[in-house]
Structure 1
Amino acid sequence: MSLRSGIPLTVRVPLVVVLLMVVISIGVSQLVLWRLVETQERQLGDLANAYLDGLESSLVDPVLRRDSWEVFDILDRARAVYAAVRPIETTVADANGLVLASSEPRSAPIGSTLPPSTASRTMIVSERDGVAIADRSLMVEGRQIGRINTRIDISPMLAERAEVTWYLVISNAVLTIALTALGWFTVRRMVAPMNVLLRHVSAAADGSVEPIPETQIRSQSPEWSRLFQRYNRMANALSERELLLGRVAEEERLAGLGKLASSVAHEINNPLGGILNAVDTIRVHGDNPKVRAGAVELVDRGLRGMRDIVRSILNSYKEDRPARGLTHADFDDLLTLITPEVRRKQIALEWTIDIPEGMTVSALGIRQAALNLLLNACKATPRGSKLGFSAGIVGRALELEISDAGPGLATDVAEILTGDEVSAQGVATSGLGLWVTRRIVKDLGGSVVVGKSKHGGAKLRVIVPLVESVSREVADVA
Structure 2
Amino acid sequence: MSVKFALTITAVVAGVAFTIGAVIVTLDWQRFHRELENRALLLAHSIAVTAPEDILQSDFWSLYKSLKIMANKVPGGTQDTHILTGMILDTDGIVLAHLDPNNNPLGIPPVHSSEIETQLFAQAREVRTPTILNSGVGNGGFLEGVAPIYSDEKLLGIVRVRLSKRELYLKAQRSTFIIIGLTLALVALGSLLGTAISRRITMPLSAMTEGMEAVGRGEFSNIKPIPVGNDDELGILASAFNKMAKEMAEKKSLEEQIAVSEKLVALGRISAGVAHEVNNPLAGLMNCIDTLKKHPEDPELVERYLPLLDKGLNRIKNIVESLLVELRIEEAHSTDSSSSLDDLRDIVESEINGRDIDFVWDNHLGTEVMINKRRVQQIVLNLLKNSIQALHDKGTVVFRTFQDGNCIILEVSDNGPGIPPENRKQLFDPFFTTKKNGTGLGLWIVYRLVESMRGVIEVESEVGNGTQFQVTLPAMEVST
Q: TM-score, normalised by structure 2?
A: 0.50
Q: TM-score, normalised by structure 1?
A: 0.50
